[in-house]
Chain A
Amino acid sequence: MTAAAVVRSPSRARTRRRLRKAGFWLSVLVIISPAILVFLWMLSLSLKNEIDNLAYPPVFIPDPPTLKNYVQVFTENSMGLYFWNSIVVSGGATLLALLVGVPAGYGIARLNAQKLTVLILIARMTPALSYLIPLFTVFQFLGLNNTLTALVITHLVITVPIVVYIMAGYFETLPRELEEAALIDGGSAWTLFRYVALPLARPGIVVGTILAFIFSWNNFVFGAVLAGRATRTLPAAVYNVLTFEQLAWGPLAAAAIIVTLPVLILTVVIQKEIVAGLTHGGVKGS
């Protein structure tokens, strides 16, 4: 449009601008609606009784909403136990990963970045099952199958690479001058790490901890293979126990919400840091 045309028909230009704006908001709506609709549908299924869940055409708004499904999975399907198992496994594997991964990340950051990239790529490419087969056989030999210990050890495969990766990236951004100053004052390598680098890296540790915890929490296959009936983690329990005991949709949806809600809350809380941590090359548990 030429300048003369704009001057001649200011109202038409305004209409066009409004149309473009409406079109833009429409496209925003289109791209975010799949995410919103699936989660809302999940919530809706979990708050309805079974008659409404199987109705056709579907009932969208629970009327009246019921918490019956949630009560049922806790009282009849021992969701409490599985929730606790998941906390022990993911919490244990994350804590151990911090003990190993924070110093390791520091070491790698001070060596070179090339090695780090290769390490991360290999960790990401390796199929989870390629760890699982050897570990399963060894645990079988040691009599550790069906124990939480075996699960914690296996989950290290997920948590350690994430912590090492996040920490190495974080330590790399810290100015070296501080450490050099401490070195001149006669500090040892340990003093440098413990009293200079570590306190500065606290935000990195928080992000690493949360991401490691989330990916460990979300893991399904390790629990499905290594856990016994009483030691299953939440995702494995939701699939292996509930789908056999409960064919009803309401309790299944309630269980699905219980599994994924803690993760979604964590995600929203540290949204910015997660985005930075994930896109910087991309980490995901194997």
Chain B
Amino acid sequence: MRNRVIWSIFVTVWSIAVLAPVSLAQTVQTQEGGQGRGRGGGPRRNVPPPPGPPHDSHDLNGIWLQYGGGFGGAAGGRPKVGSEWTKDELPLTPAGLSKLNGNHSGKGPRADVPAKGNDPLSGANVPGLLRTLIYGRPFEFVQTQDKVVQLFEWFRIWREIWTDGRKMPEDPGPRFYGYSVAKWDGNILDVETFGLDPRLWGDEWGMPFTENMRVRERWHRLDRDNLELNVTFTDPEYYTRPFASETQRFRLQTKGMADAEMLEVIFTPMDEQDFNKNIRDPSSLGIAGPKSGVRNANH
């Protein structure tokens, strides 16, 4: 009898101590975590990181990495008509919804196998500004007297954010990374971006936009280690009203950290075609690849 009591207590305590944290972690991974960067389940995106020492907010220089994991295959419980940028449903017009429905991604709440999709990335096209900003690979800000240069690890591409007082040109597009002008609003770099090429997607899930979308980015360095970005999207043809992103948080990467040095990450057509032939198409379509076989459907 005594042994049964001890055993029951052991089972109960073990279950709570071991399984509950795993379940929570898995829930976090499924809902908000995951591995947008191929990492282990990191902190949730909507949990502020620890503060750092004070720092000049007008100094954005440094290599920054998004804080918090990706959404994983389960899309973090986001709405079907949703985006990685916001937890709310996208306020789409009928034209915008039609465009969204025509964008078939391998990720997110409307995901299908990539071989059946039309993700522009599958053809080794560049991801463009918006998708790069939400994706979670490191970037570096380098400030000069008249501009802030943002260097992106993903595709090893950069853009200029002009701070010399110039006005936005009337028709700067189409550009995959847009045309950006900015001014300081107190401690916040207030950026206007226009002229984005609408053939690309606004996020990994196929968020649509037109060539007339205006993007307002507000970059705020809180302290030495922490940077925040809030974005407002205005695109009357596809969205019934301007809508705001959730706050995106970034951590400074310093020497010794894995992301303190940006790598060369370039998807070329020759590599993309090879990957599609060997991995994407066989896995999606159930066909033999040049170097792999297939079992029958009843395996």
Answer yes or no: do A and B interact: no
Q: Which of B's residues lie within 8 Å of A, judged by CB?
A: none
